[in-house]
Structure 1
């Protein structure tokens, strides 16, 4: 059986890569509790907890062809946090939970598909939020390196300060870069400051937001790095480039949860079977979205 490559831990303790791969191939959990098995054979209920000590940040790097999965990252200690950096193509992050409040200072997840290929994120829990008036946020796609297609399924992002899913930047195509696509499916966003879902491809390819719910009403104030510290602006879907197709979704907010930013290349939102603002049913949760950390790592 061919073994799938592992994600690399860049924390304060080192992993012996050879023994880590060997343990994964035998179905044994590695030293940091990340079960990485051959594609299609990982048991999502067989996860381990990675505990981050107080005041520390643990970083995991994921490259082309690698998978980071079945990990509950415990950030409940004071000042503890973590981050996943993913680049290249054909990588996967699935059945992963960040448990505990994020103290800020960096994004928890910085993905990019740095070729014309694809990558996938599924069953990701970021529902415990971030310290009010801190900096950075949940997910920020690395616009300088993102050329391909990132497909996101079943994520839960709630109460972050500097965007929930920051899926596009406003200026990188000016440097001759093509820009990439971010598609978001069957996901749930709750009261993320600045925006909940911010997507759009500078090269004119369509980004898709499908069967997603955006709930508002409990936004934590913006802090370090915000243009207006202390504000609480929770845009539902923010199109920086266009077109962005929003289908079968409920996008709440007051005022209506959509904003198109004309500074960033004539964005366009195409709405199909989607309810906006006060008409949205934000009480529903798309099937498959993990509402707890344990549900994410259990693949439920």
Structure 2
């Protein structure tokens, strides 16, 4: 597989533009513009009695939106995007929604900006995103057209628990959840998740009280190179009991962005120091370490699905 050139601190400018563009576009496109093409979670239906999950097949060239509303559960769905130019977006806004046992199958090759999941608990509630497989990744379409795995809206003001999520080889961030730090202030907890070989960053948070725990990030010679954990302003955020194995390809921990510092409290964690010492701190940023090591060994935590079928068969 051709490898994307290693990213550096000079990527901050295009990432800032990406953040603004996604905000203006309401993550993928105006919901009003896709109302006629969108499918609600309730309308999709459920698997038949002799199946444990439902397959949602996306046709070649189709770009489908699936909407999940307040109090709804979207679960046991395999979204098949193996056809050429097929993609889907699942949006979950409102409050107290659940996405569980869901997989996207197929390497996305559409070549236009978007996010596979656009999320936000915008009603000061608590929502759940668990047992999700996004391991097939996306092609490298460049800065202006790269695909994001999971995007959290700036308006997020509640809490989202991410658990047992597998994200690999996306060309514009794995879990991109820093935007609420500058607006809604909602918290994020990424627990027992695995991310590998994504461009820009893997776990990206920033609102006070957000954290990454019991998780692993891996960079090797497959896919793209990006920051492992990026803590945006203002923080503080926690990184606890993680294995961050970047193999000298990018920063393990980056604190601060857009000229503003942040605080990352790191404990019981091993991280790689091969890329400029492993840590980048903007002026005013702090990375506080407690019981850390520099011999990481990334692994897939127990319960994380390792294939699309694994995710939906639970």
Structure 2: where are the runs of 5+ without partners? 1-33, 273-293
Tell me which residue corresponds to 2:93: 87
CA 1:129–1:108: 2 relative to 1, 3 Å: same
Cα-to-partner distance string for 1:79-126 (whole Å, 9 max, x where unaligned): 111110010110000000000011242110010010211100000000
CA 1:14–1:194: 2 relative to 1, 3 Å: closer
Are 2:162 and 2:191, in contact at CA under 8 Å, matched by a contact in 1?
yes
Tell me which residue corresponds to 1:198: 204
Tell me which residue corresponds to 1:294: 309
Pair 1:247 & 2:262 matched: no
- Of the three residues 248, 261, 264, the one matched with 1:269 is 264
Tell me which residue corresponds to 2:169: 159
TM-score when normalising by structure 1: 0.77
Structure 1: where are the runs of 5+ without partners? 1-8, 21-28, 37-42, 221-231
Are 1:11 and 1:59, in contact at CA under 8 Å, matched by a contact in 2?
no
Are 2:41 and 2:68, in contact at CA under 8 Å, matched by a contact in 1?
no
TM-score when normalising by structure 2: 0.74
Deviation at 1:233, TM superposition (A): 3.9
Q: How many angstroms apart in 2 are the aligned matches of 1:98 and 1:72? A: 6
Q: Secondary structure at the match of 1:78?
A: coil
Alpha carbon RMSD of aligned pairs, Å? 2.6
Cα-to-partner distance string for 1:134-181 (whole Å, 9 max, x where unaligned): 5131111111x21111110000000001100100128x73xxx34211
Are 1:159 and 1:192, in contact at CA under 8 Å, matched by a contact in 2?
yes
Are 2:191 and 2:212, in contact at CA under 8 Å, matched by a contact in 1?
yes
Tell me which residue corresponds to 2:102: 96
- Of the three residues 106, 109, 114, the one matched with 2:117 is 109
CA 1:209–1:160: 2 relative to 1, 3 Å: same
Tell me which residue corresponds to 1:147: 157
Q: How many angstroms apart in 2 are the aligned matches of 1:178 and 1:14? A: 27
Tell me which residue corresponds to 1:118: 126
Q: How many angstroms apart in 2 are the aligned matches of 1:101 and 1:162? A: 14
Pair 1:216 & 2:211 matched: no
Q: Point out 4+ residue stretches in structure 1 off by more than 6 angstroms.
A: 13-17
Pair 1:168 & 2:178 matched: yes
Are 1:240 and 1:264, in contact at CA under 8 Å, matched by a contact in 2?
no
